[in-house]
Amino acid sequence: MYKKLIIVNVAVILLVTVVYIFGYYFINYPVSFDLWEMVKGCQLQYLPAVFVVTALASYLVSSLDFKKLNFKSKFLSVFPFLNTLALAFFIYIAAEGFIKNKRELTKQENYYIKEAQKDIKKDQIVMRYTGGLSFQIYDQVTTRKIDSIGKKYGIISQNTGCVIDLIDIKAQEKYSEMTDSYLEKRNGKGWKERMKKEIDELKKIKNHRNK
């Protein structure tokens, strides 16, 4: 009997540990699925404290005089039950976080789909990038020339700041999906390389003059 109860306890502890670790992914969705990052990010060092609390509660309950069972049998029966409650709590937290983030992602995706449709009509596709404070490297004339090259290909650049929002970044993929095909039809294959080459040549000329 003890052997079966011990197996149940070990299985429940392992299951709680797995859910606790993987819960980090669902709570932080749409973070990339990386097991090592999940182990580091979930603050696994706090999990033993959960087992200490459930073990202490199991000890107190098992000390009560009920049923005709010895202390060991009662403890091995109560401990997995309390850990199952902890398991249910972790599942609830993970599911709640996932549903909340999923809804926000869907909302943001719908926003970017509308933005893509609007920008395609204007022939003005926004290329967003994160970079914090923007420091002007070139003079206004050179900067305007770089911008004009982008506009020639139907592109305008937009600095979104230094704050990284994973949901927003993921949602922007919808914008890219719609605008990438449009830009390829508009500019032809290899347009990114051609645009980069033109900008790089302009920068080279400017840098050469400054020497």
Q: How confident is the model at residue 108 (pLDDT cuts 50, 70, 90)?
A: very high
If you average pLDDT over residues 179-189, what whole number do you get? 95
Q: State which residues form the domain around 88.
A: 2-103
One domain for residues 53 and 132:
no
Strands (E) in 14-147, as ranges, are 125-129
- How high is the pLDDT of residue 7? 95
d(CA 104, CA 102): 5
Higher pLDDT, 157 or 96: 96
Kindly state whether residues 55 and 146 are assigned to the same domain. no
Distance CA 130, CA 67 (A): 64
Q: Are 149 and 195 in contact (CB under 8 A)?
A: yes
**136 pLDDT higher than 60:** no
The larger pLDDT score, comparing residue 158 to residue 8, is at 8
pLDDT band at 159 (very low <50, low <70, confident <90, very high): confident
63 and 138 co-located in one domain? no
Range name among 39-43, 74-78, 98-102, 155-159 with the lowest pLDDT average: 155-159
Q: How far apart are CA 76 and CA 61, in angstroms?
A: 11
Residue 114 domain-assigned (yes or no): no
HSE-up of residue 210 (Cα within 13 Å, Cβ side): 10
- pLDDT at residue number 140: 79
Asked if residue 109 belongs to a domain, the reply is: no
Residue 99 sits in the same domain as residue 133: no
Q: What angle do CA 10, 15, 17 make, to 5 degrees?
A: 95
Q: Are residues 6 and 99 in the same domain?
A: yes
Question: For the chain, how many structural domains are there in total?
Answer: 2
Give me the mean pLDDT over the 39-45 stretch.
94
Residues 204 and 128 in one domain: yes
φ, ψ of residue 79 in degrees (nearest 5): -55, -50
Residue 52 region by backbone torsions, left for phi larger than 0, else alpha for psi between -120 and 50, else beta: alpha
**Separation of alpha carbons 179 and 173, rounded Å:** 10
d(CA 89, CA 4): 25
Q: Which of 4-18, 59-73, 195-209 has the lowest mean pLDDT?
A: 195-209
More confident residue, 130 or 119: 119
**14 and 90 in one domain?**
yes
Beta bridge pairs of residue 127: 157
Q: Are 155 and 188 members of one domain?
A: yes
Domain co-membership, 96 together with 128: no
Q: In the predicted model, is pLDDT for residue 135 greater than 50? A: no
Residues 20 and 89 in one domain: yes
One domain for residues 8 and 92: yes
Q: Which of 29-33, 159-163, 181-185 comes out lowest in average pLDDT?
A: 159-163
Helix (H, G, I), strand (E, B) or coil at 33: coil
